[in-house]
Structures are given as structure tokens and as C-alpha cells.
Amino acid sequence: MKRLHNLLARQLTRLSLHPDSPPAAANWLTLLLRVSQSYADADQDRYLLERSQDISSREMQELYDVLQRERDQLESRVAERTAARAASEARFRSLTSLGSDWYWEQDGNFRFTSIAGNTGLYSGHTIEDHVGRTRWDIGGYEPPEGGWAAHRALLDAHQPFQDLVFSFRLADGSAAYASVSGEPVFAPDGAFQGYRGIGRDVTQQRRAEERVQRLARFDPLTGLFNRPMFFERLDHALAVARRRGTAVALLFIDLDRFKYINDTFGHLTGDEVIRTMAQRLTDAVRETDTLARLGGDEFIVLAEHLASAADASELAQRLVETLAEPVALAGTECHLGASIGIATFPADGDDAATLLKKADIAMYRAKDAGRSNFQFYSEAMNQPLIERMVLSAALKRALDQQQFVLLYQPKVDVATGALTGVEALIRWQHPERGLLPPDQFIPVAEETGFIRQIGRWVLRTACLQGQAWRDAGLPPIPIAVNLSAREFNDERLAFEIAQAVVDANFDAHLLELEITETLVMQDPDRAVETLGQLKAMGVRISIDDFGTGHSSLARLSKLPVDSLKIDGALIRDIATDPDDAAIASAVIAMAASLRLTSIAECVEEAGQLSFLKARGCDEMQGYLTSRPVPAAEIAAFVRRAGCGRLEAVNER
Amino acid sequence: MELTSLSYHRDRGWSVPLPVGLDSARTLVLTFGARAFSDHPAPLIELAAAFGRSVVAGCSTAGEILGNVVGDDSLVVAIARFASTDLALASAAIPSMDDSAVAGAQLGRELAPRHPRAVLVFSAGVGVNGSELVKGLVSALPAGTVVAGGLAGDGDRFERTWVLVDGQPRAGHVTAVALCGPVDIATGSRGGWDAFGPERRITRSRGNVLYELDGKPALALYRDYLGDLARGLPATALLFPLAIRLHDDSDGLLVRTVLAVDEATQSMTFAGDVPQGVRARLMRSNHDRLIEGAAGAATDAAGAATVRRLYRDAVSPARIDDSPTLALAISCVGRRLVLGQRVEEETEATLDALPASTTQIGFYSYGEISPSGAAPCDLHNQTMTLTTIREAAA
């Protein structure tokens, strides 16, 4: 019998049915229903199974899609990151290869782990030397500023550092410098991992800086200390001297005639001279002395450890002598020499500025004294300087306040003693100092140029006075006025004189101008021209202080002059000195042969008068006759002595 | 031991007169029946009265098992009189699900002083966290105590169950019987369900209530898989138990059965814990695999007995002897749903694998309690769980 499905068998059993016997109607239906239910159960089972499969598959597919998408995204992110990383690395390589810098890394024990970039800069130092070692263990590194201890403390504190300069020896022994900056590196959890940073070669900069430093302290031409450096030394030396109670001397050295050399031979030669002189000075000063070039042709020596002023003298003399030695220039030998001024501490001052100023003044004195010598500073030197400044101001005031006055010194005929004229001499009625002679103020006036105003005043006053005498009924009295160099060289001289004469309504023929021989001979050709102009106005010209200059007779004969005044120095000893007597005689004779009037100055003794009479000198002037006197007294003199000159004047 | 069984149907009454002669202090009366008997407790009261000295325990079912027959609307009874095994009975109330562990522990503490070899436990099937209950009970009992039993059923309604407490059917209670003495207990518990589809993660749950899988409502997933059968929720959810993997790196799976669904919260209540964060997969089975599983469970239960006897009696050969065996078969309501009309094939299969003199009694439950291999006793779902009880020869 066919084996029934055990469910069906069961179903039959449950209903107490047997396959062999058909069921009762009620049971039949029940059986059918149960069988039907079985089919339905089976359907449901299959439905669930298939549905589960479908949904599961769909879910799996969705998951798979998501995974795929995520994987794609991940891959593209990875690709991006890889590309970005590659780009970053390329950039880094560019940076390190193109620059002169290098990039370094160290581990947590400050040992180098890598160096990249420009690493071949320093001979004798390789990357291999560095890797695995700390900076202080690598041979050749000098300690940085502050020492290794300070740097290591900074590293231990995990601090960044910037531009720390390390120096080290290269294979050839020269020094190289690297500027290094570094920063600490930390892991995401904060753990210290090491350092990284950059380095840069700064050897060139360092050397340049050193050069600048040197330049700042040394004179580039001579290699001597320069001004600032010297003053540092001076301040220090003074401080020491103060403490110890010792003396210090400053020797201010100015080369003579350097400007002339520079102008004549050019600057290059001038520099050579400076160098030569610098070397001579260097050789001449003592080990303990400090030599510097202040600039131009000025040098200065700081002498410490002086036993006495004598030491300073000795030094100064040595310097003067060595600088006086000739210098070979362009095939010739030139003599320059130097003027040296000496000021000492504490005698002349206790600070650098004062000492320098006084040494400078002393140096000028040395120049004044004829150059190629040395002078110690003395207070007396200082006077004229101060006085000059005061005087200058006073002069202006004097003119404004009419403190000047003209005195007149009579010139008389040697034979007759009659008045031949007067020389107008300026005096300054100083409110405090009394009546001052010209040598007390004229030089200053010359220096400042104020002489012009004074000269103008003298001319006007003299002309006015001359005319005043005429107006007073006196016979015409020639007035002689001294001309200074400035006045004589002034283009407007003729104009000024013309103006004075015209304004005073004075007869130009009565005006006499006294010009020193030296002045005229400075530029004889020009002098001829000027004098010619003046003569054309009718003014008379007298050569003053004749016999002291170097006139040639030929030139003299060409000058349109009227008289020669023989210098007082010659007249002084004519009675006793045969040489002077001879010269004086010669001058008188020469004047006569040139048809010039001869006038002797500073005649004070009868003996001189006798001589002059004997030699035939025309006129004389001096204390023997009269001091310079106020205008009023001239009238009395005229009445007493008569006025003999006029006839001579009118005869010409 | 002496062993017999009977049944009760409402229209027929008792199948045989109550064998009151078996009543003794060492008599165990197990009874399982339809939920309806809580409303019509007469037979239960009668039974309890007839066996005044015995330990009477039992609960409601989603189907009663007696022999190889599965019935509904009936009561099945098994009576075993032990020769030298003492019994003890304890009960505890479970006011709410959160009290499950406490209740279990209470039971355990009561029975522990008796040093039981085994404890049979029958608990309310709704309003209980079965795994917590078992944990509590096991923690209070000496290690090595075999714990077996199940959660009462309520057909496929999942509404209310009863457990016999002092001879009365009571809801919200758990009762336990301690067997103290030389009894041989063997257990077997097998499923026959296979996990399928993608592994999901429980992203939101609380205790034994599942809200979300992979961030999406779990109820929606079940509806999807059930299709037309979603109409039958919550019962049809039994068709797809959940396999949860407590530890990501282990293969051990725990099977969980849906006991209730809540549309408002889109949540599903399971018979045991469904911890948040663990991985889970849906399971399905088919008829043959389930039957195979049942047979396997029985073989386990029978085989274990054989092994134990081996160890006790080194001389005698491994042979299953013929002493009376009480087999407590507690299967899962979910299996019944799948097996449908063919459900008795599994009860047949189990009986076939057990010794000839076995009296099989049991029920379809909302959760089976048993050891599983070497693991301590736990709540299982979707399994056929067999516990064989025989008294060792003196």
C-alpha cells in the first residue's frame, strides 16, 4: 500500500479514519478541511521562505551598494590624500632644494634624525656626522652665545628658539656661521617627540658685520683708530688717570701744507701722503700711546704713562722730526711737516672736550709760530681768541657809538722842520680799556672784514678834517691814510676814495694813501693798475714800511708812487748799525734817483736826525717831532713849525 | 519511582480517576493546561485537594503535551512518586518585569538550604523578564544545580497566564520545585533555527524591549519580512526569532522570541534581554530542521543519562535501562506556529529518542529554561527542551 505522507496519515488517525475505509460524511469534510489547511500551511511556508529570501537579498544588495559607495569614497579620499601628500612633499623638496636653507629634525633626545635641503655648504661637516648625534656631541661646533648649558636648558624646557647663531670650523680652518631656528614637536597626546627647524648659512653676513664693526672703529685709509674709537679710549684713559692721579697728554697733530699737496698732486697722492705719515707716526709713538686719525690731515696721540712734561716734549719732538722728513712724491721730494698742539690732564682740563679744544688751540699756535713745531697749551693762548670774539662785537659798537678817533702825527721836512703833512692814525677810545692803539683791534677787523667799514670811516674823517682845517683858515695840510690789504684789494677802492673826497669837498691832491711795500708786491701788476686809477684822481701814493719786503727795483720804478716811507726798523739803528745805515742810505739814494720823496719813520733820537740830514732824507716822522696828536693840536703845530710842504706839493 | 499520567477535558472530565493512592510527601504532581482554567479552576482545585501531601506544580500553556499528543483546552497531569527523593516547593510574586531577578533570587534562597540536585521552575509568561528571573534564581542556588522549566503560555494570545500557587492558578507568580536526593537529571535543548540575512546591530533597546535595529524601527523590519502575515502580529513574529550575539568575537548565539508588540512606540517585547549594542540576525526554520532539533534534544537528554550511569557504574555496560523516566518536554510556542498541524511530529520524535518507559509531559511555553551544553542555565527560546528525571537505583 502506498505510503501516505505522515501528515496525511496523522490526519486520518486523528479523525479515526483508515485509508482503507472511506470516512463518514462529517469526518470527510473535516479531513478535507485539514488537508486543505495543510496545503495552506505549505503555501505560507513557501511564501515566507521566498519573501525572506527576496527581502534578505534586497537588504544584502543595499548593504553591498552602501559598502561599494563607501569604498569608492574612501578610495577617492585616499587618492586625494595621497596626491595632497605628494604635492606637499614636492613643495617641501622645492623649498629645501631651492633655498640656501636646510631643514633638520631631532628625536626626543635631541639627536639628529634627518637633515634635508642645502646640506653641502660646509666642507668637513656632513649629514652623516650629524645623524644620531646631538649638536654638542658633533665635533667642530663652538658653543652658542650664552653657552651650551643655557641652550640645553631651553631644549629641556621644550621651548622654541629663533636665529641662534652657531659657529664652527671648516676643513680649511676658517670660521663659518649658521643661524638656526627650531621648535619642539609634540604627539597628539601631548608627548614630546623631538625638535625640528631650519638653518641658514650666515657666514657672509657675519663677515660683513665684522667689516662694518671694523669700519666703525678704524679709519679705512690708514687702519688707525677712527675718531669715535679714539674718544672711547680717551674717556677710558681719563677715568683711569683720575683714579690713579696720573697725567695724560693729548697731542693734536695737523700736517703742514697738506692742502697744497692735495691741490697740486691730486687726491690719490694726498691719500698716499696720509698713509705715509700715519706709518711714520705709528713707528714713532710708544707702545702705550694711542694713535688715531681724526680726519683730513689731522691726527691725534693719547700719551699715557708720562713721567713728566719732558716726556711729552720728547714725544712731540720725535713726531715733529719724523713728519718733517721729506716725502717722495711724483719724482720730487716734498717737505710737509706738522704742527702739534699739546694739552695735558689734569692741568689743562679734566674732560676730553676741553683737552681737545686746548690741544687744538695750541696746535694753531704752533702753526702761527712758523709750523713744524710743537706748542704746549697756555692760558695766554686763549686770550686773543676770546678777545677776538669780544673785540669783533665791540668794534661794531665802537663804530656806531663813535668811539674811534683819528690822531694825526706830523711829518716834517728834515732840513727845515716845517710841517709837510700828517699821518692819520686811528685810535679806539674804549670805554673800559682806555685809548687802544690799532694793533689791538685792526687785526681782528682785518679778519672779520670789518676793516672796510673802519677804513671808510677813516677816509671820511680824514677828508672832513682836512677840509675843516682849510675852513679854519689853515694852509692846506696833506693827510696820509693807511690802506689795509682788504681795502687795497677791493675793486671799489677808487670809488670809495672818490666818494669820501667829494663828500668832504676835500682836495684830492691833499689825500695821501699809504700802502705797505709787502702789500704792493703781493701782486705787482694789479698794484700798478690800482695805483694808476688812484693817481688819476690826483691822490698821492706812499709806499709804507719800505725796506722789509722783496721788491725788485725794476718793479718799483714802474709803480706810480710819490714817496717811500722807510721802515722804522731800519731807522732804529742807523746811528749805530753800519748795515742798517748802509741800507737806509741806499734807500734814500734810490728814492732820490727815482724822484720819490723819502720819509723816515719812527725817528726818535737826535742821532738819527743827524744821519738823515746828512744822507739827504726828505722828510721824517716820529716821536722826536711829535706823537700822534688830536686834530686841534695840529693847528698849533702849524703855527709853530710852519707848513713847508705845500710849496713842494704845488711844484709837482 | 512510580509514574503515571492522565488528562482532563472539559467535556469529558478526567481520562482516568485520580490515583490518590500515589499521594505522599515524595510525590510530585505536574500539571499543565489551557489558560482558560484560571477562570474555571475546578479541576485544579480538585487535583490539589486529592494530592494534599504531594508537591503540586504547573502552569498555563500554548499547547499541552502528553505523550506524543499536543492538545489545547485541556489539562495534562503527570504523577511521580519518588522512593528516596525529597521535594520542596517555593513560590514568589513578580509584581512587575523589573522584579524578575529579585523574585528568582528569592526562590533560590528559599530552596538552597535543601541542597537540591535540580530545580524545576514554572513562571508567569507575560510581564516577566525570563532571563533576569533565571539569573536571579541561579545566583541564589549552589553551583551545579540543574535548573529546568519554562514560562507559562497563553495560546497565541500573549495576554495572561497562570501558575499554580498553593493549588490556585495565579497570574504574576513564579513557582519552583526542588528535587533533593539521588535523582538522575539529564537535559537537552535544541533549536533548529537558522540565522539568515545581514547581521544587524541593536541600536536602541531597554532590557527585553527592542526599539531599533541599525537605527530603524525593529517593528517595521518585522512587518516587511512578514508581509501579509503581519496581520497576525504579535503571534506571527514568532516565525522570525532574533539571534543575538552577546560578544562580537564569539559564535555563541542566543535566541529570543517576540512576546508582544507596541504600535505606539514601535517596540517589540522579547522573552529575554536584547541588550543594546549587540549584533542580531533574524532566524527562520523549516519543518525538518525543527523535528531534527527536537530529536536531537531528546537524544541529548537520553544520552546524558547514559553517560551519568556510566560514571556511576563502571562495570555495567552502557545500556539504557528500563527504569521509569519522567520526561518534561517544554517546547516553544514559536515552533508550534511553524509546525502547524505537524506539531506532533516533534513530540513523536522526542519520544522515539527516549527510553521506552518514558512518560512525556510538557507544554508549549513562552520561554524554556535549561542548561545548554556547558553553559549555565539560561532562558532559551524557540527550542525543544527536554528534562529527563529518573530515580537512581538504590
Probe site for chain B from A48, A61, A63, A65 (most B CB atoms < 10 A): A48
Question: Does residue B72 surpass a pLDDT of 50?
Answer: yes
- The residue among A171 and B258 whose pLDDT is bigger is B258
Strand arrangement, sheet containing B384-391: B69-71, B64-66, B358-365, B325-332, B384-391, B183-190
- Nearest CB neighbour to A59, from listed B198, B227, B284: B198
pLDDT at A652: 40
Overall residue count recorded for chain B in this entry: 394
What's the maximum distance between 2 C-alpha atoms anywhere in chain B? 64
- The answer to whether the Cβ–Cβ distance between A56 and B239 falls below 8 Å is no
- Name the least confident of A16-30, A310-324, A445-459, B156-170: A16-30
Q: What is the mean pLDDT of residues A246-255?
A: 91
b/e map B353-376, b = 16+ CB within 10 Å: bbbeebbbbbbbbbbbbbbbeeee
Query: Is A56 at the interface with chain B, CB within 8 A?
Result: yes
pLDDT reported for residue B309: 46
Query: Does residue A193 surpass a pLDDT of 80?
Result: yes
DSSP H/E element including A544: strand A540-546
Residues of B in contact with A48 (CB under 8 A): 226-227, 229, 239, 284
Is the peptide bond preceding residue B41 cis, with omega within 30 degrees of 0? no
Sort out which chain B residues have CB atoms less than 8 A from A38's CB and list them. 340-341
Q: Any idea what the Cα angle at residue B309 is, between residues B306 and B310, rounded to 5°? A: 85
Average pLDDT, chain B: 88
Instruction: Return the percentage of chain A with pLDDT > 90, whole number.
Output: 28
Interface probe for B, chosen from A52, A61, A64, A65 (most Cβ of B below 10 Å), is A52
**Are B197 and A59 in contact (CB < 8 Å)?**
yes
pLDDT digits (tens, 9 = 90+) for B278-334: 999 999 887 888 898 898 898 888 865 554 444 444 444 444 556 789 999 999 998
For testing contact with chain A, the best of B284, B290, B337 (most A CBs within 10 A): B284
Whether A342 has a pLDDT exceeding 60, the answer reads yes
Tell me which chain A residue has its CA closest to the CA of residue B286.
Answer: A45
Q: Which residues of B touch A (CB under 8 A)?
A: 196-198, 224-229, 239-240, 282, 284, 286-287, 338, 340-342, 344-345
Interchain proximity A55–B229, CB inside 8 Å: no
Nearest CB among A37, A49, A60 relative to B341 is that of A37
Contact with chain B for residue A613, Cβ under 8 A: no
Give the least confident one: B204-218, B313-327, B364-378.
B313-327
Q: How many A-B residue pairs are in contact by the CB < 8 A criterion?
A: 50
* Long-range contacts from A390-394, C-beta under 8 angstroms, 24+ separation: A391/A440, A391/A441, A391/A444, A392/A444, A392/A445, A392/A447, A392/A448, A392/A450, A394/A430, A394/A441
Query: Is A10's CB within 8 Å of B342's CB?
Result: yes
Choose among A20, A1, A19: nearest CA to A10.
A19
Instruction: Tell me whether residues A7 and B341 touch, CB distance under 8 A.
Output: yes
Name which of B96, B122, B103 is nearest B33 in CA terms. Answer: B122
For the record, the C-alpha cell of A208 comes out as: 660683513
Are the C-beta atoms of residues A254 and A338 closer than 8 Å to each other? Answer: yes
pLDDT at A80 over 60: yes
Using the predicted structure, report yes or no on whether residue B103 has a pLDDT greater than 80: yes
Lowest mean pLDDT among A10-14, A195-199, A543-547: A10-14
Using CA atoms of A358, A363, A369, A373 in order, give the dihedral in degrees to the nearest 10.
130
Query: What backbone phi and psi angles, to 5 degrees, belong to A251?
Result: -115, 110
The answer to whether A7 contacts B342, with C-beta atoms less than 8 Å apart, is: yes
pLDDT greater than 80 at residue B222:
yes
User: One-letter amino acid identity for B313?
Assistant: D
Which of B198, B239, B287 minimises the CB distance to A48?
B239
Contact (CB<8Å) A48/B229? yes
Strands (E), A449-528: 479-482, 511-516
Residue B196 pairs in a beta bridge with B282
pLDDT in tens, A377-391: 877 666 666 666 677
Residue contact A6–B340, C-beta within 8 A: no
pLDDT of residue A126 exceeding 90, the answer is: no
Best to test chain A binding among B240, B242, B342 (most A CBs inside 10 Å)? B342
Element containing residue A120 per DSSP (H, E): none
Q: What confidence tens digit (pLDDT) does each residue in A251-266 have?
A: 999 998 888 888 888 8
pLDDT at residue B316 in the model: 42
Name chain A contacts of B342, Cβ cutoff 8 Å.
7, 10, 41
- Average pLDDT, stretch A585-603? 90
H helix runs in B112-217, sequence order: 130-140
Strand, coil or helix: A505: coil
pTM equals 0.48
Cα–Cα–Cα angle for A598, A603, A604, rounded to 5 degrees: 170
| A34 touches B at CB < 8 Å | yes
Contacts of B282 in chain A (CB under 8 A): 52
SS3 for A29?
helix
* Mean predicted lDDT score pLDDT of chain A: 85
**Among B225, B231, B238, B289, which would you mutate to test the A interface (most chain A Cβ atoms within 10 Å of its Cβ)?**
B225
Assign A648 a pLDDT band (cuts: 50, 70, 90).
very low
Q: How far apart are CA B289 and CA A49, in angstroms?
A: 14
Instruction: Judge if the upstream peptide bond of residue B198 is cis by omega within 30 degrees of 0.
Output: no
Q: Which residues contact A400 (CB under 8 A, 6 or more apart)?
A: none
Does A370 score more than 80 pLDDT?
no
Say yes or no to pLDDT of A215 above 80.
no
DSSP element (H, E) containing A549 = none
DSSP class of residue A578 equals H
Q: pLDDT by residue (tens digit) across A455-499?
A: 999 999 999 999 999 888 888 999 999 998 878 888 888 898 999
Distance from CA of A188 to the nearest CA of B (A): 29
| Residues of B with Cβ-Cβ distance to A12 under 8 angstroms | none
pLDDT mean over A125-142: 80
Better-predicted residue by pLDDT, A526 or B389: B389
Taking the C-alpha atoms of residue A47 and residue A39, their distance in angstroms, rounded to an integer, is 12
pLDDT above 90 for A426: yes
pLDDT at B308: 47
Distance CA B218, CA B213 (A): 5
Please, are residues B226 and B233 in contact by the beta-carbon 8 Å criterion? yes
Distance to chain A for B300, nearest Cα, Å? 25
- Asked whether the beta carbons of residue B197 and residue A48 sit closer than 8 angstroms, the reply is no
Mean predicted confidence (pLDDT) in B71-86: 94
pLDDT at residue A74, as a whole number? 93
**Chain-chain contact of B197 with A52 (C-beta, under 8 angstroms):** yes
User: CB-based contact (8 Å) between A65 and chain B?
Assistant: no
Give the pLDDT mean for A501-509: 91
What pLDDT does A387 receive?
A: 65
C-alpha cell at B367: 520561554
pLDDT at residue number A650: 43
Closest residue in B to A46 (Cα) is B286
Identify whether the C-beta of residue B116 lies closer than 8 Å to the C-beta of residue B38. no
Question: Which of A36-45, A539-548, B45-54 shows the highest mean pLDDT?
Answer: B45-54
For residue A56, which residues of chain B lie inside 8 Å, CB to CB?
A: 196-198
pLDDT at A263: 84
Inter-chain contact A41–B198, Cβ cutoff 8 Å?
no
A636 in B contact zone (CB under 8 Å):
no
How high is the pLDDT of residue B318? 43
Calculate the CA A595 to chain-centre distance.
60
**Closest A-chain CA to B226:** A48
